[in-house]
Every structure is written in C-alpha cells, then in structure tokens.
Structure 1
C-alpha cells in the first residue's frame, strides 16, 4: 500500500470505559479500521484530561480513575475517512472527533 502526500488525520477522543457492545470502544474501532483496510491506527492512553462535563480524570494515586482519556488516531485518504464516519458516529455515545490535513512523507513496510 502506498500512502503519501496529502491525507487526513482523524483523532477520536473517548474514555477508557466507553464500550461498543461488550468490547472497549477503542478496541472495536481499531478492529473496524483493520477490517476496512485502513493504513493503520494507534491508541494513545492519557494520564489526565477532562471533557464536556469538566470532570477531571487522572491516574494519580489518591484519585484512581477507571475512565482515563483515550485517543484513537488514524491517517488515511480523505475519502476513506469520510466514508467510515457514519459507522463511527453510530458506535460513539460521547466524545469528540477531529480531522486535520496531514502530509505523509513516508509510509511503507519494513524490508524483510
């Protein structure tokens, strides 16, 4: 797969406790992206954050949170991102999605 030039970076901001059916939402999203042939996806777990309700979620010892922030990042073509958006929207109850242009300068498999 060749993925170079102007692409779209999608970031999906959710909570660690968010679910799709009985599975963690971030896992369900990554599996969907893989099944749909996306170039790749990465899940980043935050150590602190807050959302629209202004409730702080943190991993500090005195205040354990079972709902730390999670960001799922995907880079692919604008058309592919746009086509999958309705499915993502159906899977999410809360959270936020952002899109921005990303200039891909290198994407390839390692030499075997």
Structure 2
C-alpha cells in the first residue's frame, strides 16, 4: 500500500504574524482550503535561521518565548508546488523545503 508523495516543510516561529493572524494558523487554513492531504504544526525547543539574530529558545517561566515552528504537509508534488506559491505573501516564513517521501497508507481515502 505504499505510495510516492512529497513533504513540504515551512519554517517559521510561533510569534510570526500576518496582520492579526498567526502565520502557522493561516498556513494550516490555506492548506485545508487547497485540499492538501494533511498538515501538522510542530513546535521546536530551540533553533535559529540565517535571518534570525537571536536563537529561538525557551526562557524561564515562558517570558519572551518565541519558539521555532515547522509546518509539514504531505501530498503530491504538483499540489505542494502550487500551494507554495499561495504562501509567498507570508514574509515570516524563513525556509521552505520539499522532499520525496514514501507513504505507507494512501494519502486520501474516498
């Protein structure tokens, strides 16, 4: 039952905003509207990117936390490449990666 698919990862942080909305919530809602097979938001403990001055990490008592977030989506390559264009207006996405994966269950159940 394995199937070839792709995994799109978007890197951001939990405080990233686009207007009044959290970037991670906006990306997940857009992925749902685009009909992607699925999306998951993963919160990291620490991290940094090429354009971030401070290291994103947990602080005592949660004061000034701004932890890294990775949003993962799995679907067919064409769907993910098209979706990547729909989030190009979100300036707080630090990096997007695309890689081949093998799913062990079908992406969609009809």
Please indicate the TM-score interval, normalised by the length of the shorter structure.
0.7 to 0.9
Residue 33 of structure 2 is aligned with which of 14, 32, 35?
Answer: 35
Gaps of 5+ in 2: none
- 1:1-40 alignment to 2 at 5 Å? 5-40=3-38
Secondary structure of 2:99's aligned partner: strand
Question: 1:58 touches 1:65 (CA, 8 Å); kept in 2?
Answer: no
Deviation at 1:4, TM superposition (A): 5.2
CA-based RMSD: 2.3
For these two proteins, the number of residue pairs brought into alignment is 108
CA distance in 2 between counterparts of 1:8 and 1:109 reads: 14
Gaps of 5+ in 1: none
- 1:27-106 alignment to 2 at 5 Å? 27-52=25-50, 53-61=52-60, 64-106=63-105
Secondary structure of 1:80's aligned partner: helix
- TM-score (ref. length: structure 1): 0.84
Deviation at 1:65, TM superposition (A): 3.5
- TM-score (ref. length: structure 2): 0.85
